Amino acid sequence: MQSKHPLTGISSVAIHASGHENAEYAHITPIFATSTFTFDTAESGMERYSGPDKTRIYSRWGNPTFTAAEETIAALEAFGLKDEHGQQLVLKALLHSSGQAAMTTMFMSNLKAGDTVLSHFALYGGTNELFKSVLAGAGVKTTIINMRDLNLVEAALKEDSSIKLIHVETPANPTLQCIDLAAVSALAKQYGCILTVDNTFATPYLQQPFKYGADFVFHSTTKFLNGHGTAIGGVLLGKDLAFMNSTGWKWHTLMGGNSNAFDAFLLSQGMKTLELRMDRHCSNAMEVAKWLEQHPAIAKVNYNGLESHPDYAIAMKQMKHPGALMSYELKGGLKAGMQFIDKLNMCVRAVSLGTVDTLISHPASMTHSSLSVEERLKYGITDGLIRMSVGIENIADILSDLEQSLTGL
Protein backbone atom coordinates (compact mmCIF):
# COMPACT_ATOMS: atom_id res chain seq x y z
CA MET A 1 0.00 0.00 0.00
CA GLN A 2 1.47 3.33 -1.09
CA SER A 3 1.77 6.39 1.16
CA LYS A 4 -1.13 8.89 0.86
CA HIS A 5 1.23 11.83 1.25
CA PRO A 6 2.89 13.08 -1.95
CA LEU A 7 6.53 12.03 -1.67
CA THR A 8 8.89 14.49 -3.33
CA GLY A 9 12.26 13.05 -2.30
CA ILE A 10 13.80 9.67 -2.98
CA SER A 11 14.57 8.89 0.68
CA SER A 12 10.90 9.53 1.55
CA VAL A 13 10.01 7.05 -1.20
CA ALA A 14 12.55 4.50 0.04
CA ILE A 15 11.08 4.75 3.55
CA HIS A 16 7.34 5.17 2.84
CA ALA A 17 6.59 3.64 -0.58
CA SER A 18 5.46 0.49 1.17
CA GLY A 19 2.97 1.18 3.99
CA HIS A 20 2.53 -0.15 7.50
CA GLU A 21 -0.79 -1.93 6.98
CA ASN A 22 -0.97 -5.41 8.47
CA ALA A 23 -3.48 -7.19 10.66
CA GLU A 24 -1.20 -7.07 13.72
CA TYR A 25 -0.36 -3.32 13.48
CA ALA A 26 3.35 -4.12 13.32
CA HIS A 27 5.33 -0.97 12.50
CA ILE A 28 7.81 -2.84 10.28
CA THR A 29 6.45 -5.37 7.75
CA PRO A 30 6.99 -8.71 9.53
CA ILE A 31 8.92 -11.70 8.21
CA PHE A 32 6.04 -13.83 6.96
CA ALA A 33 7.75 -17.19 7.38
CA THR A 34 4.89 -19.19 5.98
CA SER A 35 4.65 -21.35 2.90
CA THR A 36 0.90 -21.06 2.54
CA PHE A 37 -2.05 -18.82 3.49
CA THR A 38 -5.45 -19.76 4.86
CA PHE A 39 -8.92 -19.17 3.38
CA ASP A 40 -11.91 -18.37 5.64
CA THR A 41 -14.28 -20.06 3.22
CA ALA A 42 -14.17 -21.96 -0.06
CA GLU A 43 -15.56 -18.86 -1.73
CA SER A 44 -12.84 -16.53 -0.42
CA GLY A 45 -10.26 -19.03 -1.68
CA MET A 46 -11.87 -18.97 -5.08
CA GLU A 47 -11.86 -15.18 -5.09
CA ARG A 48 -8.19 -14.96 -4.21
CA TYR A 49 -7.32 -17.49 -6.91
CA SER A 50 -9.21 -15.59 -9.58
CA GLY A 51 -8.27 -12.08 -8.40
CA PRO A 52 -5.34 -9.94 -9.57
CA ASP A 53 -3.42 -10.17 -6.25
CA LYS A 54 -1.95 -13.65 -5.90
CA THR A 55 0.32 -12.83 -2.97
CA ARG A 56 -1.77 -14.45 -0.23
CA ILE A 57 -2.16 -17.98 -1.55
CA TYR A 58 1.22 -19.75 -1.62
CA SER A 59 4.64 -18.16 -1.05
CA ARG A 60 6.16 -19.28 -4.34
CA TRP A 61 3.53 -17.00 -5.87
CA GLY A 62 4.19 -14.12 -3.49
CA ASN A 63 4.27 -13.18 0.15
CA PRO A 64 3.55 -9.88 1.96
CA THR A 65 7.24 -9.54 2.95
CA PHE A 66 8.25 -9.83 -0.73
CA THR A 67 5.51 -7.36 -1.71
CA ALA A 68 6.88 -4.71 0.66
CA ALA A 69 10.35 -4.91 -0.95
CA GLU A 70 8.86 -5.05 -4.48
CA GLU A 71 6.75 -1.93 -3.90
CA THR A 72 9.77 -0.03 -2.64
CA ILE A 73 12.02 -0.97 -5.58
CA ALA A 74 9.26 -0.25 -8.11
CA ALA A 75 8.70 3.20 -6.55
CA LEU A 76 12.43 3.98 -6.50
CA GLU A 77 12.98 3.00 -10.13
CA ALA A 78 9.90 5.00 -11.24
CA PHE A 79 10.64 8.00 -9.00
CA GLY A 80 9.86 11.27 -10.83
CA LEU A 81 9.30 9.55 -14.21
CA LYS A 82 6.22 9.94 -16.40
CA ASP A 83 4.52 7.38 -18.65
CA GLU A 84 3.49 8.12 -22.25
CA HIS A 85 0.27 9.80 -21.01
CA GLY A 86 2.18 12.21 -18.75
CA GLN A 87 1.12 10.34 -15.60
CA GLN A 88 3.45 9.04 -12.87
CA LEU A 89 5.11 5.92 -14.29
CA VAL A 90 3.93 2.75 -12.55
CA LEU A 91 6.21 -0.30 -12.55
CA LYS A 92 5.77 -3.88 -11.46
CA ALA A 93 8.64 -5.58 -9.62
CA LEU A 94 9.15 -9.31 -9.19
CA LEU A 95 11.54 -10.22 -6.39
CA HIS A 96 13.70 -13.30 -6.97
CA SER A 97 16.05 -15.50 -4.96
CA SER A 98 19.10 -14.03 -6.75
CA GLY A 99 20.09 -11.67 -9.49
CA GLN A 100 20.70 -14.68 -11.72
CA ALA A 101 17.15 -15.96 -11.12
CA ALA A 102 15.66 -12.55 -12.01
CA MET A 103 17.81 -12.42 -15.14
CA THR A 104 16.73 -15.92 -16.13
CA THR A 105 13.07 -14.87 -15.87
CA MET A 106 13.81 -11.71 -17.85
CA PHE A 107 15.44 -13.57 -20.75
CA MET A 108 13.33 -16.74 -20.77
CA SER A 109 10.01 -14.85 -20.67
CA ASN A 110 11.03 -12.62 -23.58
CA LEU A 111 12.91 -15.01 -25.87
CA LYS A 112 12.31 -18.26 -27.71
CA ALA A 113 14.42 -20.63 -29.80
CA GLY A 114 15.64 -18.91 -32.96
CA ASP A 115 15.91 -15.45 -31.34
CA THR A 116 19.19 -13.62 -30.87
CA VAL A 117 20.34 -11.36 -28.03
CA LEU A 118 22.66 -8.46 -28.81
CA SER A 119 24.98 -7.41 -26.01
CA HIS A 120 28.23 -5.68 -25.11
CA PHE A 121 31.45 -7.59 -24.31
CA ALA A 122 31.98 -6.11 -20.82
CA LEU A 123 29.34 -8.08 -18.95
CA TYR A 124 28.87 -9.54 -15.49
CA GLY A 125 30.42 -13.04 -15.58
CA GLY A 126 27.14 -14.77 -14.66
CA THR A 127 25.30 -13.01 -17.50
CA ASN A 128 27.96 -14.04 -19.97
CA GLU A 129 27.79 -17.66 -18.85
CA LEU A 130 23.98 -17.62 -18.86
CA PHE A 131 24.12 -16.56 -22.52
CA LYS A 132 26.77 -19.14 -23.42
CA SER A 133 25.50 -22.15 -21.47
CA VAL A 134 21.78 -21.82 -20.72
CA LEU A 135 20.35 -19.65 -23.49
CA ALA A 136 22.47 -21.29 -26.19
CA GLY A 137 21.12 -24.67 -25.08
CA ALA A 138 17.58 -23.33 -25.41
CA GLY A 139 18.26 -22.25 -28.99
CA VAL A 140 18.83 -18.55 -28.27
CA LYS A 141 21.97 -17.13 -29.86
CA THR A 142 24.01 -14.23 -28.51
CA THR A 143 25.90 -11.67 -30.56
CA ILE A 144 28.50 -9.81 -28.53
CA ILE A 145 29.90 -6.57 -29.94
CA ASN A 146 31.42 -3.31 -28.72
CA MET A 147 28.15 -1.46 -28.08
CA ARG A 148 29.99 1.76 -27.29
CA ASP A 149 30.28 2.07 -31.07
CA LEU A 150 26.72 2.86 -32.15
CA ASN A 151 27.57 2.20 -35.80
CA LEU A 152 28.33 -1.41 -34.88
CA VAL A 153 25.00 -1.65 -33.01
CA GLU A 154 23.07 -0.37 -36.02
CA ALA A 155 25.00 -2.61 -38.43
CA ALA A 156 24.24 -5.68 -36.29
CA LEU A 157 20.53 -4.81 -36.10
CA LYS A 158 20.34 -4.17 -39.84
CA GLU A 159 22.09 -7.41 -40.71
CA ASP A 160 20.36 -9.82 -38.33
CA SER A 161 16.57 -9.69 -38.05
CA SER A 162 16.62 -12.48 -35.46
CA ILE A 163 17.89 -9.97 -32.83
CA LYS A 164 14.89 -9.59 -30.53
CA LEU A 165 16.49 -8.23 -27.39
CA ILE A 166 19.34 -5.86 -26.57
CA HIS A 167 20.90 -6.30 -23.15
CA VAL A 168 22.97 -3.50 -21.69
CA GLU A 169 24.99 -3.25 -18.47
CA THR A 170 26.13 0.29 -17.68
CA PRO A 171 28.47 1.02 -15.99
CA ALA A 172 30.05 -2.42 -16.44
CA ASN A 173 32.60 -4.52 -14.65
CA PRO A 174 35.55 -4.01 -14.17
CA THR A 175 36.70 -1.06 -16.31
CA LEU A 176 33.46 0.92 -15.79
CA GLN A 177 32.61 1.18 -19.47
CA CYS A 178 29.33 3.00 -20.07
CA ILE A 179 26.79 2.66 -22.85
CA ASP A 180 24.62 5.50 -24.09
CA LEU A 181 21.13 4.43 -22.97
CA ALA A 182 19.18 7.04 -24.97
CA ALA A 183 21.02 6.22 -28.21
CA VAL A 184 20.75 2.43 -27.82
CA SER A 185 17.10 2.76 -26.82
CA ALA A 186 16.35 4.76 -29.99
CA LEU A 187 17.96 2.02 -32.10
CA ALA A 188 16.05 -0.68 -30.19
CA LYS A 189 12.77 1.13 -30.95
CA GLN A 190 13.70 1.63 -34.61
CA TYR A 191 14.41 -2.09 -35.07
CA GLY A 192 11.56 -3.35 -32.87
CA CYS A 193 13.77 -4.85 -30.15
CA ILE A 194 13.25 -5.15 -26.42
CA LEU A 195 15.81 -3.22 -24.34
CA THR A 196 16.83 -4.73 -20.99
CA VAL A 197 19.22 -2.92 -18.63
CA ASP A 198 21.29 -4.26 -15.73
CA ASN A 199 21.20 -1.27 -13.35
CA THR A 200 22.99 -3.02 -10.45
CA PHE A 201 26.09 -0.78 -10.34
CA ALA A 202 24.14 2.49 -10.54
CA THR A 203 21.00 1.81 -8.43
CA PRO A 204 17.84 3.81 -9.21
CA TYR A 205 19.25 6.71 -7.22
CA LEU A 206 22.05 7.31 -9.73
CA GLN A 207 20.44 6.18 -12.99
CA GLN A 208 16.89 5.40 -14.14
CA PRO A 209 16.95 3.43 -17.42
CA PHE A 210 13.15 3.68 -17.89
CA LYS A 211 13.69 7.42 -18.43
CA TYR A 212 15.60 6.56 -21.62
CA GLY A 213 13.10 4.01 -22.89
CA ALA A 214 14.24 0.72 -21.35
CA ASP A 215 11.55 -2.00 -21.37
CA PHE A 216 12.90 -3.99 -18.43
CA VAL A 217 15.35 -3.15 -15.66
CA PHE A 218 17.20 -5.73 -13.66
CA HIS A 219 19.07 -5.48 -10.33
CA SER A 220 21.10 -7.85 -8.29
CA THR A 221 19.66 -6.60 -4.97
CA THR A 222 22.59 -8.40 -3.32
CA LYS A 223 24.67 -5.28 -3.97
CA PHE A 224 23.84 -1.61 -3.20
CA LEU A 225 20.07 -2.05 -2.72
CA ASN A 226 20.59 -4.39 0.23
CA GLY A 227 23.82 -2.55 0.98
CA HIS A 228 24.94 -4.61 3.96
CA GLY A 229 25.93 -7.89 2.34
CA THR A 230 23.30 -9.86 4.26
CA ALA A 231 21.32 -11.57 1.48
CA ILE A 232 21.41 -12.69 -2.14
CA GLY A 233 18.51 -11.39 -4.21
CA GLY A 234 17.42 -10.02 -7.55
CA VAL A 235 14.56 -8.09 -9.04
CA LEU A 236 12.96 -7.80 -12.46
CA LEU A 237 11.09 -4.54 -13.15
CA GLY A 238 8.79 -3.88 -16.09
CA LYS A 239 6.52 -1.06 -17.30
CA ASP A 240 4.23 -3.31 -19.37
CA LEU A 241 2.03 -4.26 -16.41
CA ALA A 242 -0.06 -6.71 -18.44
CA PHE A 243 3.10 -8.60 -19.44
CA MET A 244 4.52 -8.49 -15.90
CA ASN A 245 1.26 -9.80 -14.38
CA SER A 246 0.84 -12.57 -16.97
CA THR A 247 3.89 -13.93 -18.82
CA GLY A 248 6.52 -12.39 -16.50
CA TRP A 249 4.78 -13.63 -13.36
CA LYS A 250 4.10 -17.02 -14.89
CA TRP A 251 7.71 -17.69 -15.90
CA HIS A 252 8.91 -16.41 -12.53
CA THR A 253 6.61 -18.66 -10.51
CA LEU A 254 6.95 -21.72 -12.78
CA MET A 255 10.75 -21.61 -12.85
CA GLY A 256 10.60 -21.24 -9.08
CA GLY A 257 13.08 -18.43 -8.49
CA ASN A 258 11.07 -16.95 -5.60
CA SER A 259 12.71 -15.00 -2.80
CA ASN A 260 12.23 -15.87 0.88
CA ALA A 261 10.75 -13.75 3.65
CA PHE A 262 13.96 -13.30 5.65
CA ASP A 263 16.03 -12.08 2.67
CA ALA A 264 13.18 -9.83 1.51
CA PHE A 265 12.99 -8.33 5.02
CA LEU A 266 16.74 -7.65 5.07
CA LEU A 267 16.49 -6.01 1.65
CA SER A 268 13.64 -3.76 2.81
CA GLN A 269 15.67 -2.57 5.80
CA GLY A 270 18.71 -1.87 3.62
CA MET A 271 16.85 0.15 1.01
CA LYS A 272 15.62 2.73 3.53
CA THR A 273 19.09 4.30 3.68
CA LEU A 274 19.88 4.01 -0.04
CA GLU A 275 20.25 7.77 -0.65
CA LEU A 276 22.37 8.38 2.47
CA ARG A 277 24.61 5.43 1.71
CA MET A 278 25.00 6.23 -1.99
CA ASP A 279 25.92 9.86 -1.32
CA ARG A 280 28.71 8.70 0.97
CA HIS A 281 29.79 5.82 -1.31
CA CYS A 282 30.00 8.27 -4.21
CA SER A 283 31.85 11.10 -2.49
CA ASN A 284 34.34 8.62 -1.03
CA ALA A 285 34.84 7.00 -4.46
CA MET A 286 35.55 10.34 -6.12
CA GLU A 287 38.20 11.15 -3.51
CA VAL A 288 39.77 7.70 -3.74
CA ALA A 289 39.92 7.87 -7.56
CA LYS A 290 41.57 11.30 -7.55
CA TRP A 291 44.02 10.22 -4.86
CA LEU A 292 44.96 7.03 -6.71
CA GLU A 293 45.41 8.89 -9.99
CA GLN A 294 48.18 10.98 -8.33
CA HIS A 295 49.88 8.03 -6.63
CA PRO A 296 53.33 7.08 -8.01
CA ALA A 297 52.69 3.29 -7.62
CA ILE A 298 49.52 3.43 -9.75
CA ALA A 299 49.74 3.13 -13.53
CA LYS A 300 46.09 3.72 -14.40
CA VAL A 301 42.71 4.32 -12.74
CA ASN A 302 39.47 3.24 -14.45
CA TYR A 303 36.73 5.37 -12.92
CA ASN A 304 33.91 6.79 -15.03
CA GLY A 305 33.94 9.95 -12.90
CA LEU A 306 37.46 10.92 -14.00
CA GLU A 307 37.85 13.01 -17.15
CA SER A 308 40.54 10.55 -18.24
CA HIS A 309 37.89 7.77 -18.57
CA PRO A 310 36.76 7.24 -22.18
CA ASP A 311 33.08 7.14 -21.16
CA TYR A 312 33.16 10.12 -18.79
CA ALA A 313 30.79 12.16 -21.00
CA ILE A 314 28.20 9.35 -21.22
CA ALA A 315 28.35 8.80 -17.45
CA MET A 316 27.81 12.52 -16.83
CA LYS A 317 24.89 12.59 -19.26
CA GLN A 318 22.85 9.72 -17.81
CA MET A 319 23.99 9.33 -14.20
CA LYS A 320 23.45 11.56 -11.18
CA HIS A 321 26.93 10.57 -10.02
CA PRO A 322 29.40 8.06 -11.51
CA GLY A 323 29.09 5.64 -8.59
CA ALA A 324 31.34 3.73 -6.20
CA LEU A 325 33.10 1.10 -8.34
CA MET A 326 36.52 1.49 -9.87
CA SER A 327 39.52 -0.52 -10.92
CA TYR A 328 43.18 0.35 -11.08
CA GLU A 329 46.45 -0.96 -12.28
CA LEU A 330 49.62 -1.16 -10.24
CA LYS A 331 52.89 -0.33 -11.98
CA GLY A 332 54.39 -3.51 -10.52
CA GLY A 333 51.87 -5.80 -12.28
CA LEU A 334 50.58 -9.08 -10.83
CA LYS A 335 53.18 -9.44 -8.06
CA ALA A 336 52.64 -5.91 -6.75
CA GLY A 337 48.85 -6.36 -7.05
CA MET A 338 48.87 -9.48 -4.89
CA GLN A 339 51.24 -7.91 -2.31
CA PHE A 340 49.04 -4.82 -2.15
CA ILE A 341 45.92 -6.91 -1.49
CA ASP A 342 47.70 -8.95 1.20
CA LYS A 343 48.87 -5.83 3.05
CA LEU A 344 45.42 -4.25 3.46
CA ASN A 345 44.39 -3.88 7.10
CA MET A 346 40.87 -2.41 6.92
CA CYS A 347 39.61 -2.76 3.34
CA VAL A 348 38.13 -6.24 2.96
CA ARG A 349 39.42 -8.89 0.55
CA ALA A 350 36.24 -10.19 -1.07
CA VAL A 351 34.38 -10.33 -4.36
CA SER A 352 30.89 -8.79 -4.59
CA LEU A 353 30.26 -5.06 -4.25
CA GLY A 354 27.93 -2.41 -2.90
CA THR A 355 28.33 -3.14 0.81
CA VAL A 356 28.97 -0.50 3.47
CA ASP A 357 32.56 -1.70 3.79
CA THR A 358 35.21 -1.25 1.12
CA LEU A 359 35.74 -4.49 -0.83
CA ILE A 360 38.80 -5.22 -2.93
CA SER A 361 39.28 -8.07 -5.38
CA HIS A 362 41.70 -9.16 -8.08
CA PRO A 363 39.74 -9.92 -11.29
CA ALA A 364 42.53 -11.88 -13.07
CA SER A 365 42.76 -14.48 -10.29
CA MET A 366 39.14 -14.31 -9.01
CA THR A 367 36.04 -13.10 -10.90
CA HIS A 368 37.55 -13.43 -14.39
CA SER A 369 39.91 -16.38 -13.82
CA SER A 370 37.89 -18.64 -16.14
CA LEU A 371 38.71 -16.45 -19.15
CA SER A 372 41.76 -16.94 -21.37
CA VAL A 373 44.53 -14.32 -21.16
CA GLU A 374 43.54 -12.98 -24.61
CA GLU A 375 39.90 -12.64 -23.60
CA ARG A 376 40.89 -10.96 -20.34
CA LEU A 377 43.08 -8.44 -22.14
CA LYS A 378 40.25 -7.69 -24.57
CA TYR A 379 38.14 -6.71 -21.55
CA GLY A 380 40.99 -4.60 -20.13
CA ILE A 381 41.67 -7.09 -17.33
CA THR A 382 45.43 -7.01 -17.00
CA ASP A 383 47.24 -9.12 -14.38
CA GLY A 384 47.80 -6.14 -12.07
CA LEU A 385 44.22 -4.84 -12.17
CA ILE A 386 42.52 -4.33 -8.78
CA ARG A 387 38.74 -3.92 -8.49
CA MET A 388 37.41 -1.82 -5.65
CA SER A 389 33.91 -1.17 -4.30
CA VAL A 390 34.37 1.92 -2.15
CA GLY A 391 32.51 1.74 1.15
CA ILE A 392 31.07 4.36 3.48
CA GLU A 393 33.87 4.32 6.07
CA ASN A 394 35.50 7.66 6.89
CA ILE A 395 37.57 8.67 3.89
CA ALA A 396 40.78 9.28 5.89
CA ASP A 397 40.79 5.64 7.01
CA ILE A 398 40.28 4.30 3.49
CA LEU A 399 43.10 6.47 2.12
CA SER A 400 45.51 5.63 4.93
CA ASP A 401 44.90 1.89 4.49
CA LEU A 402 45.56 2.21 0.74
CA GLU A 403 48.66 4.32 1.42
CA GLN A 404 50.22 1.85 3.85
CA SER A 405 49.50 -1.04 1.46
CA LEU A 406 51.02 0.76 -1.53
CA THR A 407 54.15 1.82 0.33
CA GLY A 408 57.23 0.00 -0.90
CA LEU A 409 55.60 -1.68 -3.92
Q: Which residues of this protein are in contact with ligand PLP, per CB under 6 A?
A: 98-100, 124, 126-127, 169, 198, 200-201, 220, 222-223, 232, 234
CA dihedral 12, 18, 19, 24 (to 10 degrees): -140
- How far apart, in whole angstroms, are the C-alpha atoms of residue 214 and residue 140? 21
**Amino acid identity, position 405:** S
Q: Which is nearer to ligand PLP, 12 or 97 (CB)?
A: 97
Least distance to ligand PLP, CB of residue 245, Å: 24
Q: Which is nearer to ligand PLP, 201 or 340 (CB)?
A: 201
Q: Which is nearer to ligand PLP, 234 or 305 (CB)?
A: 234
Closest residue to ligand PLP using C-beta atoms: 99
Burial of 343 (0-12, 13-18, 19+ CB in 10 A): middle
Burial of 93 (0-12, 13-18, 19+ CB in 10 A): buried
Least distance to ligand PLP, CB of residue 42, Å: 40
Least distance to ligand PLP, CB of residue 314, Å: 17
Least distance to ligand PLP, CB of residue 134, Å: 13
Least distance to ligand PLP, CB of residue 39, Å: 34
Q: Which is nearer to ligand PLP, 107 or 191 (CB)?
A: 107
Q: Give the three-state DSSP class for 203.
A: helix
Least distance to ligand PLP, CB of residue 81, Å: 22
- How far apart, in whole angstroms, are the C-alpha atoms of residue 78 and residue 88? 8
Nearest residue to 351 (alpha-carbon basis) of 304, 323, 386: 386
Q: Which is nearer to ligand PLP, 226 or 405 (CB)?
A: 226
Q: Which is nearer to ligand PLP, 206 or 298 (CB)?
A: 206
Q: How many other CB atoms are found less than 10 A from the CB of residue 213? A: 16
What phi, psi does 334 have (nearest 5°)?
Answer: -60, -45
